[in-house]
Chains A and B, each alone.
Chain A
Amino acid sequence: MFYKLVAKFLFLFLFFLVLSCSQKGDNSGGRSTITLVFKHGKIAGDPELFRQIIDRFEIENPGIKVKDEVLPASTDEQHQFYVLNLEGKSPEFDVLSMDVIWVPEFARARWIKDLSHLLTDVERSDFFPGPMQAVTYRGRVYAVPWYIDAGVLYYRKDLLRKYGFPPPKIWQELVTIAQSIIMREPDMYGFIWQGKQYEGLVCNVLEYFWSNGGDILEEEKLVLNSSENISALQFMRDLIVKYRVTPPLVITAIEEPTRHIFGNGKAVFMRNWPYALNIFEREGSAIKGKVGVSALPSFPGKESASTLGGWQLGINNNSRHPEEAERLIRFLTSPEVQKALALTVGYKPSRKSLYFDKDLIRVQPFLIQLHDIFMKVRSRPVTPYYMMITQVIQPEFSASLSGIKTPEEALNSAQRQIEHIFQVEK
């Protein structure tokens, strides 16, 4: 009786297995049409607009269908999805969009294809140097920059003009301006940024390190607890407790809450990514026409710096259709499509030439300013160790912002832990 039951189950199981296999066969055998799967994060704005761009690719490339599949919203989850599927050698997707910090890791693990042949030297020079550096690992190019992001300083043009201040170039100037404006404007914060324990915190902190001449790695050498970094981190803590221009709420803030506060006219300065500009300039915005953007300030005698963000396109090493996938990447990173994306959803092109495009500038005049900022953008350490490094430094930065540790203690502790990590390959 028991064995009969097992046999029946086995039979059913096999039956369905055969059924599902034969169905698959039917699909792929249909008139030599191949289907590319493109995985990416949610595209801002109306998804229909992006679909129209994909449709254009399908018309230009008969025989290729593109299925674009949206990943979960949080980048951590996207990273996890890629890791599990790429390590499992899944051929279920061909083109993937990657955060700028993942490329060396994925390249080191041989999860993505070498795309060096896709970009000639001339073409490479059309992309901003920051993202180009970020997609290059050991001299080879593993992805093509799709769109670019960078930390910028937002300021209230109207208020600065009212009280007679120019946009600050030095951090200390920002403090002075913020202090004097919030004294005279009630219910306003001076300067807000992102201080929650997450990847964005690292982006924020690095901008202070760099603009004080510090860094995390210098030629593969770990220099995290340098005096430049310690005093830069101390300055961030001082913004909250000593100068009192930054409210303690930044310790839990990510991009959107700060964007809301600034968007409601409640802050003089904000550090954020350029995406907020399009929102502030929308009809009905409380601060429409009152927002200025500039490069972030620096410490005296040092260079301003902003952290590179943005997304890059690469090809799954187990893709069954690498040539078609290359065509899709070429298409999506072409000047025409980048321009269309800039116009429809406000993504900032990774190609420099577009910042001098007449149509684009007419609609988004601030692009000219962004060009100069993007030219100086710096990438977080380009190393396959990055994901491990960031897991160590996030809580340490957070500890020193919330006052549990002094900046020196926090950076010393992080330095020790990362030195331990660097031994893993041995």
Chain B
Amino acid sequence: MIQVQNVTKIYPVAHGRRLVLDDASIDLPGDRNIGLLGVNGAGKSTLLRLIAGTELPTHGRVLREGAVSWPIGFTGSFNGSSTGRANVKFIARIYGRDIDRAIEFVEDFSELGPYFDQPVKTYSSGMRARLAFGVSMAIDFNTYLVDEVTAVGDARFAEKCAAEFRARSAHANIIMVSHSAATLREYCQSAALIAFGKIFYFADVEDGLRAYDDVLRFS
């Protein structure tokens, strides 16, 4: 369960302030996968970062239950000049996991072959995404925050990730940002829509998608 309580998020911009979330509150249950919906710039990625704790709310607070991942996306936060292996080592270390087991898992899951021992800057974006997903799977979080899972690249690997998530659904859930209704339908049972600075929760993902269409028509 993730509880967003009276969260306001304001970004200072070149001329003034931009209000992204305005005293928004929502409870996101931990027993289902939730898709985050909203028009471009509505604050989907911002909410993901707030939930992760990468950013702090301007006002209000976010309560987390269980281990929550960093926002897993394709941009990645790897050290480009270090190898995939060295990056996995570092991440396993900061999260206090067994390094050898983490490496073994990622080596197998990410299918990078000899590239695992090459600097990450030589990777294609698909390879980076595979490494990012592999590492986050090796840490075994309770809640995975995923930004645009479709970027993982080829369909086969996307299916592998989906299968891995399904296998873990008993003790792990996903909060996901995606622009693709098909992806959201595939992964998520429920949805949260960010609009007008507020967050609305829909137990059924279809209701969320319908409400999102209404918002799109509005704006």
Answer yes or no: are A and B bound together in one complex.
Answer: no
